[in-house]
Amino acid sequence: MKGHMEKRVIFKGKWLPLLLILPQLAVTAVFFFYPAGEAIWQSLFIPDPFGLSMQYVGLGNFEYLLNDPYYRASFVTTAVFSVLVTLVSMGVALFLAVLADRLIKGSGTYRTLLIWPYAVAPAVAGVLWMFMFNTRVGVITWYLGQLGYDWNHVLNGTEAMGLVVIASAWGRISYNFLFFLAGLQSIPRSVIEAAAIDGAGFWTRFRTIVFPLLSPTTFFLMVVNIVYAFFETFGVIHTITAGGPQQSTTILVYKVYADGFVGQDLGSSAAQSVVLLVVVGLLTVAQFKFIERKVHY
């Protein structure tokens, strides 16, 4: 697919384009640069909750954070959590999309049903899964008990992590499914048919043709899902585990909340926001620099 002609539409003049992107710039400045700047400024202080006084501490908040073993552990927790959520939600979505792509009858109904979970807010999804796995009244806990497995995510960190991953990935499957299905349907049938005539089985076709041609979609979804796992899973974690047991599900964003709004430690909370900002920035740059190279457009 390489080597095709680049198409470019060029507007003349400088002011019209500037004027046209001005609303976007204003929104970015007000809702992104201003709060981010404020966070950087606040991270240099230890303020009291009511804003009555502030102590300048320089990089003291960052020093405090980096010396905190639980904060360092939170990076690992976040990495494990994000990778698992991305893998589970994309893996299941791809599987379902491949099945839906082969469907001829009833595919509309199937697709509509699969999209529904996306409309469920993370906090609500969290509560739903929490009830199913409730250690006392949960339906799934009861069935696991019948099978002789004693499910207790209240005390078992691994089970807690598993549960928040499932609950976070669940709603996301719909979203990924839509993109994968669209991606699959844009692959020319002729290419696949040609391969089939050459004797390539389903798996060979999938591995050598479908998956590579799907890579722009996969790459896009990977970026979007990691950002989702980093920032938007707060509701799930808050409702299911509140970061426990023993901080085994405390991801970075949850810690920002816990320190800022439960602990009223706004200095530490601001410093964590700055760290998070840097981490996500680096992650995005890394993704575009290294992984995008392997993507076929």
Partner 1 sequence: MTLRISTLALAAATAAASAQTANAATEIEFWHAFTGRLGELVDQQVADFNASQDEYEVTATHKGNYSETLNAGIAAFRAGEQPDILMVFEVGTATMMAAKGAIKPVYEVMADAGADFDPDSYISAVKGYYTDTDGNMLSLPFNSSTPVLWVNTTALEEAGIAADVDLTTWEQVGEVLDQLAEAGHSCPLTTAWQSWIHLENLSAYHDVPFATEDNGFAGFGTELEMNGPVQVKHIETMGQWAEDGKFVYAGRRNEGGANFRAGECALFTESSAGYAGIASEAEFDFDVRPLPYWSDVEAAPQNTIIGGASLWVMAGQPDEEYAGVASFLNYLSSPEVQAQWHQDTGYLPITEAAAELTREQGFYEENPGTDIAVEQMTANEPTANSKGVRLGSYDQIRTIIDEELEAVWTGDKTAQDALDSAKTRGDQLLRRFEQSSR
The binding site for partner 1 (CB under 8 A) comprises 46-53, 55, 57, 64, 68, 70, 135-137, 154-156, 242-247, 258-259, 261-265, 267-268
CA–CA distance, 219 with 179 (Å, rounded to integer)? 11
Number of Cβ within a 10 Å radius of residue 170: 21
Dihedral of alpha carbons 166, 155, 143, 240, sign: negative
Q: Shortest approach of partner 1 to residue 212 CB, angstroms? A: 46
Structure tokens at 261: 């709004």
Dihedral of alpha carbons 193, 196, 197, 198, sign: positive
Nearer residue to partner 1 within complex by CB, 112 or 158? 158
Q: Shortest approach of partner 1 to residue 108 CB, angstroms? A: 42
CA–CA distance, 296 with 285 (Å, rounded to integer)? 18
CA–CA distance, 81 with 246 (Å, rounded to integer)? 16
CA distance readout (Å), 130 to 146, 161, 167, 231, 286: 19, 12, 9, 20, 35
Q: Shortest approach of partner 1 to residue 48 CB, angstroms? A: 5
Nearer residue to partner 1 within complex by CB, 81 or 219? 81
Nearer residue to partner 1 within complex by CB, 104 or 137? 137
Q: Shortest approach of partner 1 to residue 155 CB, angstroms? A: 5
Nearer residue to partner 1 within complex by CB, 15 or 56? 56
Q: Shortest approach of partner 1 to residue 122 CB, angstroms? A: 18
Q: Shortest approach of partner 1 to residue 78 CB, angstroms? A: 18
Q: Shortest approach of partner 1 to residue 72 CB, angstroms? A: 14
CA 131 vs. chain centroid, Å, equals 23
Backbone angles phi, psi at 168, to 5 degrees: -75, -35
Q: Which residues contact 238 (CB under 8 A, 6 or more apart)?
A: 123, 126, 254, 257
Q: Shortest approach of partner 1 to residue 153 CB, angstroms? A: 11
Q: What is the DSSP string of 230-289?
A: HHTTHHHHHHHTTT-STTTT--HHHHHHIIIIIS--HHHHHHHHHHHHHHHHHHHHHIII
Nearer residue to partner 1 within complex by CB, 91 or 263? 263
Nearer residue to partner 1 within complex by CB, 209 or 237? 237
Nearer residue to partner 1 within complex by CB, 35 or 263? 263
Number of Cβ within a 10 Å radius of residue 35: 11
Nearer residue to partner 1 within complex by CB, 126 or 171? 126
CA-nearest of 275, 272, 277, 270 to 42 is: 270
